[in-house]
Structure 1
Amino acid sequence: MIFLFAINPVSGGTTKSNWEDAIKEHFKSLSHKIHLLQLDGKTDAETIRQQIDQYKPDCVVAVGGDGTLKIVAEQLLTKKGVTLGVLPAGSANGMARELAIPADVGGSLAVLTEGKQKKVDVIKINDNDICLHLGDIGLNAQLVKHYEQNNLRGKLGYLRSVIKVLRKTRLLRVSINVGDTCVSRAAFMVVLANARMYGTGAVINPDGDLSDGQFEVVIFRQLSFGEILKLFWRFKPFDPKKIEILPATSVTIETQRKAYFQVDGEYCGRITSLKASVEPGALTMLVPNA
C-alpha cells in the first residue's frame, strides 16, 4: 500500500516532529510506501490534489485535528478506491474520538495498518461545503470564533472563550424544514449532527451514527444545568422542551438575523440561511477492528 500523510504543522499549537518520527519508525520494517506532505495553510487543497495525482496513494492520512481531516476528506470525495485515515494530532479531535481511534501516536498508527474500512456519511451544505462531524449555528459557533481569535490555547483559552460568549449570547428565532415538517423555534443554537459528540466528550446526539444514511438536527431551546449535565452523563433522555432532536436526510434552516456558523470546528462567518443534505457512505475511513 501507498500512504500519503498530510501533516498540519501547527494544529493543536504544537510541532509535529514527534508524529513524523513515529510515522517513519512505524513503517520502517513494513513493505508499505509512505510520503510526508507538510501543509502550509494557504494552498492545502491544491497541494493535496497534486500529491494524490502524483503518488496515487491507497490511503491519505490527515495528521491534525478536525479541520485538517475535513480538508483531506474534501479531496477524496471524487477519488474512488482511496481510503481516509486520521492521526489525531490537533486541539480538537472529535471525529477521531467518534471513530474510537486511539489518541496516542502508536495506537492511531496501528489502525492504519491493522484496522478495517468503514463507510461514513457526509453532510453536504449549500452545495459548496461539507460537514463530517458537527456543524452548528449560534452559541457554539460564536464560541469557536472567539476561541480562534484568542491568543490562549488549550483548556484556559477555551474557558476564557466560554465566559466571553455566555455574557453575550441571546436566543435566535429559527425556521427549520425537515421533510414535510416545518417548525419555528427560539433557540440558543441548532446543530447539524452527523456524529454523537463534540471533541470535549459532550454527547449532543446520543443515537447518532456516522453510517446510517441520515443526520440529526439538534435544537437547543433552553440552557438548563440539568440538560447540560446530560451532555456528559447520560442518566436519561433529553427533555424535548429544552433539547429537541429531529432525524433528517435534508434540511433548510433560516434565521431572522445573522447568526454565527461553524463546521467541524472551523468558523465560517455569519449566515441567515442554509441547506443541508446527507451523502450516504461518501467516504471510506480506516477505523479500529474492535
Structure 2
Amino acid sequence: MKNKNDNFIFLVINPLAGGTDKKNEKYIIKEYIENKGYNFVYYETTGNKEEPSDETEIKKLYTKYKPKKVVIGGGDGTIKFVFETLFKEDIIFGILPMGSANGLAKDLDLPNDLETCLEIALQDNFKEVDSISINKMKSFHLSDLGLNAELIKNYHDSKIHGKLGYFLQMFPTILENKDPFNATISTPDTQIETQAKVILIANSSKYGTGVVVNPLGKVDDDVFEIVIFRSLELSLILKILFGNLPLEDDAIEIIRTKKALIQTDYPISFQIDGEFCGEVKQLDIEMEKQKIKIATPKLNSTPRK
C-alpha cells in the first residue's frame, strides 16, 4: 500500500544556476510534473544565509510535507547544499543539471535533456552514492586543494558567471602559476610527503566540464581517491583536457582509502563540490556511513542526448 506522500514531489530550484535566468526551465519542470499527475511544493533558493535562510525554509517544507522524492534543479553547489540540508532523511533525490558545473550528473550518466532528466528523477531506479566528511563538511563529488580551488575562488569573485565565467578565469589563474605547496598525507596504510599543485579528494571521476581527473573513481564503491598533481605543466594540462590522463607520469599519484589526514605548510585554497571554502592547512577526511539515494537511468534504457 502506497503512502499518500509517495505521489508528492518537493522541487528545489536555483533560479540563477549557471549564471542565467531559469524562467523557461521552471515552466517546463512545473508543466511536466503537473501533467504526470504529481502534487508538488516548489521552492526557489535565494542564497540567503541569514534567517529565514534557504536551509531553514527547505527543512520547514520537508517537515510539513514529508515527500519521498526531492528534485533539485541547479549545479553541483546547489545539489551539495540540498543533499547536506536533508542528509539524515530517507529520500530519493532527483537531479536536473542546470548549473555551470554538473560533474556529479555526468558521473551518474544523466543526459543534458531536461525532460529526460525529469523522467529519470520521477521513476524508482536509484543508486546509493557515497558521501565524504571533510573537516565536518560533506562532499559528494570532487573537492580539492590548490590551483582548481583558486579558479573557483576567482570565478565567484568575478561578475561573469556560467561556463563563460569559468573559461575567462581559467587562463589568468593558470598564468599566476604559484609554486607548489608542501603536503603530508597520512592514511591508515601509508604516509607520504610531497609537493603538489593540486590535491584532489574524489568520490567520482569527472569535473563538471566532463574532463576525467580520476579514472579510478566510482560514486558507490565505499572509498575515495586522493589524486596528487605534483606539477601542472601545459603539456600535462592538455593531456588531461583531451581525456588522456597519463597515470604513468611521475607528476600524478592516486591513493585509495576510507580515511586520511592532509596537512600543508601554509594555508591553501580549498573547495568542496564547486563551492570555495577559504584557505586551510589541514583536512580531516573520512567516509560517511550513510549514503545518498539518487535517481539514475535504468541500465536497460538509453536516455535521449
Provide the TM-score with structure 1 as the length reference. Answer: 0.94
CA deviation string 1:118-156 (max 9, x = no partner): 1000011112x1011000000000010001111123444
> Contact 1:227–1:238 (CA<8 Å) still a contact in 2?
no
2:211–2:243 contact (8 Å) kept in structure 1: no
Distance 2:220 2:122 in 1: 22
* Corresponding residue to 1:288 among 290, 293, 297: 297
Question: Do the aligned partners of 2:212 and 2:245 also contact (CA within 8 Å) in 1?
Answer: no
- The partner residue of 1:49 within 55, 59, 71 is 59
Indicate which of 144, 148, 173 corresponds to 1:165.
173
Equivalent of 2:186 in 173, 177, 191: 177
Query: Aligned pair in 2 of structure 1 residues 73, 258: CA closer, same or farther (>3 Å)?
Result: same
SS of alignment partner, residue 288 of structure 2: strand
Partner of 2:14: 8
Deviant stretches of 4+, over 6 Å? none
Percent of aligned positions with the same letter in both sequences? 36
Identify the residue that residue 3 of structure 2 maps to in structure 1: none
Letter in 2 for 1:92: A
- Residue 79 of structure 2 corresponds to 69
CA drift of 1:184 comes to 0.5
Structure 2 unmatched ranges of 5 or more? 1-6, 300-305
Given that 2:196 and 2:231 are in contact with CA atoms closer than 8 Å, whether structure 1 keeps it comes out as yes
Correspondences of 1:180-191 after superposition (within 5 Å): 180-191=189-200
Which whole-Å CA distance do the structure 1 matches of 2:119 and 2:252 have between them? 38
Deviations 1:23-68 (A, max 9, x none): 2221223232211111111111111111100111111111111111
27-36 vs 256-265, which moves further: 27-36
Unaligned runs of 5+ in 1: none
Q: Deviations over 1:229-280 (max 9, x none)?
A: 4424445742341111000101100000110000011000000001011125
Match of 1:28 in 2: 34
103, 116, 121: which one aligns with 1:112: 121
Letter paired with 2:194 = R
Give the partner amino acid of 1:191.
L
Question: Does the 8 Å contact 1:218/1:243 carry over to 2?
Answer: yes
Q: How does 1:68-217 map to 2 (within 5 A)?
A: 68-80=78-90, 82-114=91-123, 116-127=125-136, 129-168=137-176, 169-217=178-226
Does 1:246 find its partner at 2:252?
Answer: no
Q: TM-score, normalised by structure 2?
A: 0.90
Shift of 1:115: 5.5
Q: How many residues align?
A: 288
Work out the CA distance in 2 between the residues paired with 1:241 and 1:261.
Answer: 24
